[in-house]
């Protein structure tokens, strides 16, 4: 690890996160502090507030490898998610002090940045409601209204941008095949992947004119980008999306119907 800066940064980040599980770090009441870890973030729940730190990682499509990049993407996360959940996303805070004795927005050396959010009650995710049979038509009606209103006001991609262009759409599709292939072992799986890839290539040619027209007509917009049921919750009975893609604009500036199709696939 001593010769690997990425591994060292990740280890130092874990030391900091462990220290942030101490209630004495915070200047507000806390209860039941616990950590939720994803492949790219540490999320610390303190009771009333959540602190989300980005891991110092670089996966190609996502790069949080420097302090400046983590600051930028924390700010982007707040900016973008306030479009549909302004009451949740409170701002970006500085983690300061010493790695084993950090503080929030206090004097001392700058260690890292975190997104500060209001913690919402558990059990309200639409994925949880669906799993327990409690997802109702009224929730779906409200979701339709919410997403339609959001898409109407979302920024439209300029004609001079690459967003929504057929080659850009194909880039992300082809990336799937490139990354999946090395993970397959059996001939049957490889053959199935090749069949899907050939089908996608055929559809690419057939849909190119349609994709170009959708771009001209203004349907490529700054969307959520990851709109599945696990990223939508009920807050005071209101359907509220959160946790959109901030780390890669190419995955966010998409056709509004691609966003709808992704959500429909999850519902199905």
pLDDT in tens, 77-116: 999 999 999 999 999 999 999 999 999 999 889 999 999 9
- 164 in Cβ contact with 252 (< 8 Å): no
Please list, in sequence order, all residues whose beta carbon lies within 8 angstroms of the beta carbon of residue 157, skipping any fewer than 6 positions away.
163, 164, 215, 220, 221, 222, 253
User: What is the pTM for the complete model shown?
Assistant: 0.91
- 240 in Cβ contact with 150 (< 8 Å): no
Q: pLDDT tens digits, residue range 35-88?
A: 999 999 999 999 999 999 999 999 989 999 999 999 999 999 999 999 999 999
**CA–CA gap between residue 36 and residue 44 (Å, rounded):** 6
**CA–CA gap between residue 154 and residue 246 (Å, rounded):** 15
Strand ranges, E, within 66-161: 89-98, 101-104, 110-118
Angle of helix 187-216 relative to helix 166-180, nearest 10 degrees, comes to 160
Token pair belonging to 18:
């462990």
Question: Exposure of 38 by Cβ count < 10 A (0-12 exposed, 13-18 middle, 19+ buried)?
Answer: exposed
Residue 3: per-residue pLDDT = 67
Q: pLDDT tens digits, residue range 159-216?
A: 999 999 999 999 999 999 999 999 999 999 999 999 999 999 999 999 999 999 999 9
């Amino acid at each position: 690890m001593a010769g690997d800066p990425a591994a060292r940064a990740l280890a130092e980040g874990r030391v900091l996160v462990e220290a942030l599980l101490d209630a004495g770090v915070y200047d507000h009441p806390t209860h039941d502090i616990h950590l939720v870890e994803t492949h790219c973030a540490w999320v610390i729940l303190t009771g009333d507030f959540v602190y989300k730190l980005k891991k110092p990682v670089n996966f190609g499509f996502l790069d949080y490898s420097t302090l400046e990049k983590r600051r930028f993407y924390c700010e982007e996360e707040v900016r973008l998610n306030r479009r549909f959940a302004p009451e949740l996303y409170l701002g970006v805070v500085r983690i300061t002090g010493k790695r084993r004795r950090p503080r929030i927005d206090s004097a001392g050396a700058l260690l890292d940045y975190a997104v500060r959010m209001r913690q919402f009650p558990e059990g309200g995710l639409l994925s949880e409601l669906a799993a327990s049979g409690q997802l109702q038509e009224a929730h779906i009606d409200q979701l339709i209204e919410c997403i339609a209103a959001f898409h109407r006001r979302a920024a439209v991609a300029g004609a001079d941008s690459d967003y929504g262009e057929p080659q850009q759409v194909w880039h992300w599709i082809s990336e799937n095949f490139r990354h999946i292939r090395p993970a397959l072992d059996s001939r049957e799986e490889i053959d199935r992947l090749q069949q899907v890839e050939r089908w996608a290539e055929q559809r690419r040619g057939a849909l190119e004119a349609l994709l170009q027209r959708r771009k001209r007509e203004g349907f490529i917009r700054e969307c959520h980008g990851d709109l599945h049921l696990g990223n939508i919750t009920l807050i005071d009975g209101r359907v509220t999306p959160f946790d959109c893609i901030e780390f890669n604009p190419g995955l966010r500036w998409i056709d509004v119907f691609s966003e709808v199709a992704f959500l429909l696939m999850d519902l199905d």
